[in-house]
Chains A and B, each alone.
Chain A
């Protein structure tokens, strides 16, 4: 089994980007943002991808992009497809909105609420998106962004106990197992 036939069929209908085949039953497609909704509807209603497995984000800070991943599952065909949407990072930080898909899958509202809190990606139409999700009374930049230094924040906030040591596991085990440096 391969995802090529599906990819070719989609490509005939939508202007989509490249395909990454992770496994025979799992592939990712890069999608322009304007095509996302149509593509999701097509996959859900025509191709049998009825289940939204997850909606998550990746912070590509070096490339100045946020990646949204919409992972869909086709129960009958036992295969998954992930749609990658790239957003301009700086614009998102400044509050550029992203389209909500809570009307396609109601569960998406929860994911979008989490993304709003953890990455600061705004989905203005999503119900309850501005309510506290996991964090209560958070004051810093969203904690899942790569430019948020969790160790620095933890040391400044939580009064660490002195005397903690960290070792590089590879070096430490090497010294333990081969004490004479062989």
Chain B
């Protein structure tokens, strides 16, 4: 376990010693729970419409696909006109774009970031690498299938997909959310043990808490 996660005594700025146990103090101890739908179908429909029009992308580029985000968020393709914006922290975003190949080392950071995002949250897999490994299908260090580790709502094919393809993918995601099928976060909660087992099978030095929120 990492040193900063171990139980220890710390001297505060006011000179008082206090005990810190990071895994209990800083992280939740319970697994994620399924978020039930609203009490009425009309209300849930309204919620889903609002969710579809409020997509906040986490600014986390995992592979070469991150380069496609720059023309998208700038005037050339201007994704902001579709109500899609980028945020710098996972606490403020609800859409995770896995932009291309994902190494095991990055997967660890991706899981931490994904779990810190508030519900409901969505994942878009960008490019062939997230679907079947793409050109890294035989790499010793790159996962070949994203949906083993995170629930994926939409895949966008291509190597690399153009920004137009991304915009089409986001529109597709909006349709999915409006239809009430964007249930990735609930899927993750329901099959939490399965996802964790898959993640731990490839991440050998698991030195972080199981529940990262």
Which A residues form the contact surface with B (CB < 8 A)?
134-140, 143, 148, 150-151, 153-154, 157-161, 163-164
Contacts and interface: CB of A to CB of B under 8 A. Distances in A.
Contacts of A164: 132-133, 137
Contact of B144 (A140, A148, A159): A159
B205 A154 contact: no
Contacts of B137: 151, 154, 160, 164
B148 A136 contact: no
Interface string B142-176: 11110010000000000000000000000000000
A153 B137 CA distance: 11
8 contacts: A134-B105, A136-B105, A136-B205, A143-B141, A150-B140, A158-B148, A158-B202, A159-B198
B132 A161 contact: yes
A160 B133 CA distance: 8
Nearest to A135: B141
B51 interface: no
A111 to B, nearest CB: 19
The secondary structure that dominates the A interface is loop
A158 B143 CA distance: 6
Nearest to B105: A136
A161 B205 contact: no
Size bin of chain B's contact surface: 20 to 34
A158 B144 contact: yes
Given A143-B141, A154-B138, A158-B143, A136 B132 contact: no
Contact of B145 (A139, A140, A159): A159
A154 B131 contact: no
A135 B202 CA distance: 12
B40 interface: no
Chain B contact residues, majority secondary structure? loop
Contacts of B141: 134-135, 143
Given A136-B105, A143-B141, A148-B140, A159 B148 contact: yes
B64 interface: no
A153 B132 contact: no
A154 B139 contact: yes
A136 B140 contact: no
Contacts of A139: 204
A161 B141 CA distance: 16
A97 B160 CA distance: 43
Nearest to A161: B132
B108 interface: yes
Contacts of A143: 140-141
B111 interface: no
Contacts of B204: 136-139
B5 to A, nearest CB: 16
A158 B139 CA distance: 10
Contact of A158 (B105, B145, B205): B145
A136 B138 contact: no
A150 B138 contact: yes
Contacts of B46: none
Residue of B131, B198, B204 with most partner-chain A CB within 10 A? B204
Contacts of A136: 104-105, 108, 203-205
Contacts of B145: 158-161
Contacts of A140: 140
A18 B201 CA distance: 49
A161 B144 contact: yes
A122 B176 CA distance: 53
Nearest to A157: B202
A164 B205 CA distance: 30
Nearest to B147: A161
